[in-house]
């Protein structure tokens, strides 16, 4: 079946089509070349931890044998019980070489997201990252920043913890990257490494900063590369494609198990497993560039209503991870863990001491609404909206968050008090939103969030408050600034080329609601 969004794309006027087709999470060939990249970087000036040239060699001058083979695991779109179950069936029973359960990155968009589950997933040690509020490609700043504001308000995720971004449909522009850097995001992960590591002109670079511009997607995104955009200290974590028997002509990026392999017309899990293994081996035997399982977990959800559980595919993915983990020095990680290692690379013999790869459970005795399921039982607010219901520890908003108002007023049920949002000086697991109290009283759990310039006109925002407004962080004064989003002006701010993406988003949303498998 031709996916609906392709039909939509085909009906749109010519110009944006080529790029849109390359942005649905699929790839059809190289999206960069050495010539198109025109990349040069002065590695004597550009040094870790805050500058890193795009390079196929491991960071820190490590030899490949001393370099861990990272498998980045990411999920995109709404956080729901189905999608968390889907991720858990791949990771929950596994351990990394240091004995910790693997962590992953969830690029969260807000439609259909259960904010309470986001809290739980974060407190369990996973990374929560931004995927826009309503899933639009080439997003305006309000879509990017509103996601962070809403996740801070309704899921209690500290501002400083939301570091990364992935563009819906992988549809990003030079301006997207600039907006991210302006809002002090740490990294983007929307670009593709589209040429195998075994080719001379591979674009499978280790994560790099944009001090000297981009070196990926030079052929597919206009205005990128040849030194642009220069965003010092802002990282790109390329998404590393798998390649089937056709090599460079057979790339598979997101959800490779939904693609037919080797030019065949039908999906074949055996063929997928074979090329996932061979690409892994190519990375492992060369410069150990990370590989990634970039998932839309809804497609492999164990019991999504109305959809037959794709058990063979689920088993195949687990077989791949079993096989990969049998090899030495293989780690399954989130993007933030990968980046922490890249910024301060340690040889495999020292990985047990790397803090970012460690795991610990917050020492909380009281039963408070804090993202630990056994502690918060019965304490979450249940918010009923016609569009989708959700739970939260932080009080139900009086409307769903929107681009114009990402932090709506709280509704307080009769006989209850308003819940207190996570303040800047407490972290999620230790914050009691009902009493408005930080139960941390030792140095080991003390925490200070940073403010982010994500408010209207770049206002610096921090958490706290009750909803309906944000505390301005300037000099710590407790003044309140009501959020004043762009409202109906958003349309006027759309960059050229955004409209097709919006149509695509709507199409994809419809398909998603009907439960038809499709890639977002
Ligand atoms: C939010 O609540 C405040 C105080 O009750 C009220 O003044 C304000 O108008 C409300 N804002 C919206 C958008 O409903
Ligand atoms: C956090 O700041 C508030 C005032 O803004 C203060 O009352 C409280 O004691 C602080 N909590 C911690 C744990 O430092
Ligand atoms: C936000 O904070 C940063 C760093 O403290 C500062 O440079 C910037 O001017 C602030 N932005 C606004 C709009 O106040
Ligand atoms: C997502 O949510 C926004 C705000 O509630 C709504 O306007 C939009 O139609 C939703 N989109 C989809 C695809 O459901
Ligand atoms: Zn998406």
Q: What tens digit of pLDDT does each residue of 268-282 get?
A: 999 999 999 999 999
- For 324, residues 6+ apart whose C-beta sits below 8 A from its C-beta are 69, 71, 277, 280, 330
H or E, element range at 472: strand 469-472
Calculate how far, in angstroms, residue 403's C-alpha sits from the geometric centre of ligand 4: 10
Condensed to tens digits (0 to 9), the pLDDT of residues 488-499 reads 222 222 233 333
pTM: 0.88
Q: Which of 400, 411, 465, 468 to mutate to test the pocket of ligand 1 (most atoms within 8 A of CB)?
A: 468
Which one, of 399, 402, 404, lies nearest residue 489 by Cα? 404
Q: How far apart are CA 124 and CA 165, in angstroms?
A: 20
Residues 461/450, Cβ–Cβ less than 8 Å: no
Domain range list for the chain? 4-42+59-351+497-513
> Inter-axis angle of helices 174-182 and 141-155, to 10 degrees?
40
Calculate how far, in angstroms, residue 474's C-alpha sits from the geometric centre of ligand 3: 8
Q: How far apart are CA 436 and CA 8, in angstroms?
A: 49
Region 110-124 average pLDDT = 98
Judged on CB neighbours under 10 Å (0-12, 13-18, 19+), 10 is exposed
Q: How many CA atoms lie within 13 A of 50 on its CB side?
A: 3
**Kind of pairing, strands 127-130 and 105-108?**
parallel
pLDDT for res 26: 76
pLDDT for res 284: 98
- For 492, residues 6+ apart whose C-beta sits below 8 A from its C-beta are none
Q: Give the binding-site residues of ligand 2, using a 6 Å CB cut-off.
A: 423, 425-426, 438, 440
Q: How far apart are CA 159 and CA 161, in angstroms?
A: 5
**DSSP assigned state of 104:** -
Calculate how far, in angstroms, residue 446's C-alpha sits from the geometric centre of ligand 2: 11
Of 439 and 24, more confident: 439
501 in ligand 4 pocket by Cβ < 6 Å?
no
Calculate how far, in angstroms, residue 409's C-alpha sits from the geometric centre of ligand 1: 6
Q: How far is CA 443 from CA 123, 157, 316, 448, 473, in A?
A: 18, 20, 45, 12, 23
Calculate how far, in angstroms, residue 502's C-alpha sits from the geometric centre of ligand 5: 13
| Residue 514 confidence class, pLDDT cut points 50, 70, 90 | very low
Q: Which atom of ligand 1 is closest in space to residue 409's alpha carbon?
A: 1
pLDDT for res 11: 31
pLDDT for res 79: 98
pLDDT for res 303: 87
pLDDT for res 328: 97
Region 31-37 average pLDDT = 94
pLDDT for res 472: 38
509 in ligand 4 pocket by Cβ < 6 Å?
yes
Residue 460: strand, helix, or coil:
coil
pLDDT for res 25: 64
Condensed to tens digits (0 to 9), the pLDDT of residues 309-321 reads 999 999 999 999 9
Determine which of 43-57, 157-171, 453-467 has the lowest per-residue pLDDT on average. Answer: 453-467
CATH architecture of 4-42+59-351+497-513: Alpha-Beta Barrel (3.20)
Residues 275/245, Cβ–Cβ less than 8 Å: yes
Phi-psi region of 43 (alpha: psi -120 to 50; beta: other; left: phi over 0): alpha
pLDDT for res 10: 31
The pLDDT of residue 200 is above 60? yes
481 in ligand 4 pocket by Cβ < 6 Å?
no
Residue 204: strand, helix, or coil:
coil
Which one, of 106, 89, 96, 48, lies nearest residue 70 by Cα? 96
Condensed to tens digits (0 to 9), the pLDDT of residues 215-225 reads 999 999 999 99
The pLDDT of residue 307 is above 50? yes
Region 161-168 average pLDDT = 98
Region 10-27 average pLDDT = 41
Q: How many CA atoms lie within 13 A of 254 on its CB side?
A: 28
- Other Cβ atoms less than 10 A from the Cβ of 340: the count is 17
Q: Which atom of ligand 3 is closest in space to residue 474's alpha carbon?
A: 14
Calculate how far, in angstroms, residue 254's C-alpha sits from the geometric centre of ligand 5: 10
Condensed to tens digits (0 to 9), the pLDDT of residues 332-346 reads 999 999 999 999 999
The pLDDT of residue 487 is above 90? no
Express as a percent the part of the chain with pLDDT over 90: 81
Ligand 2, atom 14: nearest CA belongs to which residue? 425
402 in ligand 4 pocket by Cβ < 6 Å?
yes
Instruction: Count helices and strands (H / E) in the chain.
Output: 12, 20
pLDDT for res 456: 84
pLDDT for res 18: 33
| Residue 233 confidence class, pLDDT cut points 50, 70, 90 | very high
Q: Give the binding-site residues of ligand 1, using a 6 Å CB cut-off.
A: 409, 468
Average pLDDT value over all residues in the chain = 87
Q: Which atom of ligand 2 is closest in space to residue 476's alpha carbon?
A: 5
pLDDT for res 248: 97
């Amino acid at each position: 079946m031709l996916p609906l969004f392709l039909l939509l794309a085909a009906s749109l006027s010519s110009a944006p089509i080529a790029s849109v087709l390359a942005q649905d999470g699929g790839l059809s060939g190289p999206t960069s070349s050495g010539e198109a990249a025109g990349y040069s970087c002065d590695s004597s000036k550009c040094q870790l931890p805050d500058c890193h040239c795009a390079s196929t060699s491991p960071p820190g001058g490590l030899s490949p044998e001393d370099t861990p083979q990272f498998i980045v695991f990411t999920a995109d779109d709404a956080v729901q019980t189905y999608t968390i179950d889907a991720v858990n069936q791949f990771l929950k029973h596994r351990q990394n070489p240091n004995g910790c359960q693997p962590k992953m990155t969830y690029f969260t968009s807000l439609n259909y997201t259960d904010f309470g589950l986001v809290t739980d997933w974060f407190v369990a040690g996973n990374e929560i990252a931004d995927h826009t509020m309503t899933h639009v490609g080439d997003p305006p700043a309000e879509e990017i920043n509103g996601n962070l504001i809403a996740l801070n308000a309704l899921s209690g995720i500290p501002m400083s913890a939301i570091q990364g971004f992935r563009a819906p449909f992988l549809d990003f522009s030079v301006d997207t990257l600039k907006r991210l850097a302006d809002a002090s995001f740490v990294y983007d992960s929307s670009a593709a490494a589209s040429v195998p590591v075994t080719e001379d002109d591979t674009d499978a670079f280790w994560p790099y900063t944009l001090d000297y511009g981009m070196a990926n997607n030079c052929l597919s995104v206009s205005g990128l590369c040849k030194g642009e955009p220069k965003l010092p200290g802002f990282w790109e974590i390329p998404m590393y494609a798998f390649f089937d028997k056709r090599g460079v002509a057979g790339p598979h990026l997101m959800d490779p198990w939904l693609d037919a392999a080797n030019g065949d017309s039908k999906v074949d899990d055996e063929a997928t497993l074979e090329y996932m293994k061979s690409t892994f081996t190519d990375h492992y035997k060369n410069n150990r560039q990370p590989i990634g399982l970039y998932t839309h977990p809804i497609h492999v959800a164990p019991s999504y209503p109305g959809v037959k559980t794709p058990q063979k595919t689920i088993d195949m993915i687990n077989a791949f991870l079993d096989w990969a983990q049998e090899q030495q020095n293989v780690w399954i990680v989130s993007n933030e863990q990968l980046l922490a290692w890249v910024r301060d690379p340690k040889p495999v013999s020292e990985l047990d001491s790397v803090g970012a790869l460690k795991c610990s459970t917050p020492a909380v005795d009281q039963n408070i609404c804090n993202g630990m399921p056994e502690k918060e039982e019965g304490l979450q607010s249940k918010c009923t909206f016609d569009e989708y219901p959700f739970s939260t520890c932080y009080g139900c908003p009086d409307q769903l968050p929107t681009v114009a108002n990402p932090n709506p007023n709280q509704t307080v049920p009769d006989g209850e008090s308003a819940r207190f949002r996570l303040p800047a000086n407490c972290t999620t697991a230790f914050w009691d939103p009902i009493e408005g109290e930080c139960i941390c009283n030792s140095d080991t759990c003390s925490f200070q969030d940073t403010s982010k310039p994500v408010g209207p006109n770049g206002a610096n925002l921090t958490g706290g408050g009750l909803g309906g407004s944000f505390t301005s962080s300037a000099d710590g004064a407790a003044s309140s600034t009501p959020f004043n989003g762009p409202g109906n002006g958003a349309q006027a701010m759309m960059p050229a080329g955004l409209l097709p993406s919006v149509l695509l988003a709507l199409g994809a949303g419809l398909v998603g609601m009907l439960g038809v498998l499709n890639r977002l």
